[in-house]
Amino acid sequence: MVDFERIGFSAITALERGVFTVTDAAKSAVMAVKELATLKEDYNALVVRLANYQQMQRSNAELRRENEMLREQLQFSKALDTSGQNNRVARIISREIDSLYASLTIDKGSADGITKNLPVIAVQNGSVGLVGKIVSVGRFTSRVLPVYSTECVVSARVQNTRDLGLATGLGNTEQTMRLDYIKKRVADQLHYGDVIVTSGENGNYMRDIPIGTIKKITVLDYDSSLDMEIQSAIDFSRLETVIVIKNETREEV
């Protein structure tokens, strides 16, 4: 049977990809000219900054902490590089055009080995976060259901206490996410800023990928569970590049 939706999606998004490539190239060219114009200015500023940096004395404790942090990031990068040779780095070419049905379109499709339900993550400001999962695949493009969508439900755990719940989006990037089914009795052990990670139990996502942090905890008299809000680990308004994790590497990562 002919899948009209897939054919239509492939055709329209292939055009989108072409337009995105052209506009992106034009944007890069304009930016390059602008950069050249400011290059000399930046160079002078950098020379001054370099002199300042050379004079700065950094404490051993600070350096050690920074070293540990970098080591963690390096380990994650290595894990992605070695075990995830088939992982695909993709660029976002379009986003939702209405607030009702959240979606992101990326520039990798079945031609790059992308299949439905693969998890999508991103590294932003040096930390990893869950972006969503692939819901529709075209030849050269795919559609991602982002975690902030109301249709996206992720089995999640509180990283410290290991309590299990379900994280659901509230529809748009401005709003936070909800975490349901966390029992009231653990309320004392939870704190604002605690990290919520994927549990890996529903099979779609690998374990321990940060979803976000606890933003608000409300104890409701009529409910046996806590009403919790999560701040997403990813700033979707600044997200440009994502990583699609292939099936064979998910367990290892």
Partner 1 sequence: MTKTCIYCVLTLLCVVILETAILSNITALPSVPDVLLMCSVFIALLNGPTFGCAISFVAGMMLDFASGSPLGYNAFIRVIIGFAAGFVGRAIYYDGVFLPILIGASSVVAKWLIVLIMSVLFPGVRMIDIRSTSFLFELGATSLLSPFLFAFLRLFKTLLSVPAPLGRNEAGDAI
Taken in order 102, 107, 111, 117, the sign of the CA dihedral is negative
From the CB of 15, what's the least distance to partner 1, in Å?
5
Q: Which residue of 25, 49, 101, 201 would you call a contact of partner 1, by CB under 8 A?
A: 101
Tokens standing for 23?
A: 């506009």
Rounded to the nearest 5°, which phi and psi values hold at 86? -95, 0
- Strand, helix or coil at 201? coil
Q: Interface with partner 1 includes 225 (CB under 8 A)?
A: no
d(CA 185, CA 194): 17
Q: Interface with partner 1 includes 215 (CB under 8 A)?
A: no
Q: Interface with partner 1 includes 145 (CB under 8 A)?
A: yes
Tokens standing for 190?
A: 């939870």
Q: Interface with partner 1 includes 192 (CB under 8 A)?
A: no
Site string for partner 1, 60-99 (x = CB under 8 A): --------------------------------xxxxxxxx
Q: Interface with partner 1 includes 195 (CB under 8 A)?
A: no
Number of residues that bind partner 1 (CB under 8 A): 38
From the CB of 144, what's the least distance to partner 1, in Å?
9
Q: Taking a C-beta distance cutoff of 8 angstroms, is the pair 141, 14 a contact? A: yes
Q: Which residue of 80, 84, 87, 105 would you call a contact of partner 1, by CB under 8 A?
A: 105
Q: Interface with partner 1 includes 9 (CB under 8 A)?
A: yes
**Ramachandran bin of 113, using left for φ above 0, alpha for ψ from -120 to 50, beta for the remaining angles:** left
Q: Which of these ranges, 69-77, 160-168, 186-194, 231-239, lies near partner 1 under the rule CB under 8 A?
A: 231-239
Give the per-residue SS3 of 52-83.
HHHHCCCCHHHHHHHHHHHHHHHHHHHHHHHH
From the CB of 27, what's the least distance to partner 1, in Å?
10
What stretches of the chain adopt beta strand conformation (E)?
88-95, 104-106, 119-124, 127-137, 142-146, 153-158, 164-168, 177-180, 195-198, 210-218, 227-232, 241-244
Q: What does the binding site for partner 1 look like in residue numbers (CB under 8 A)?
A: 4-5, 8-9, 11-13, 15-17, 19-20, 23, 92-103, 105, 135-136, 143, 145, 149-150, 171-172, 174, 236-238
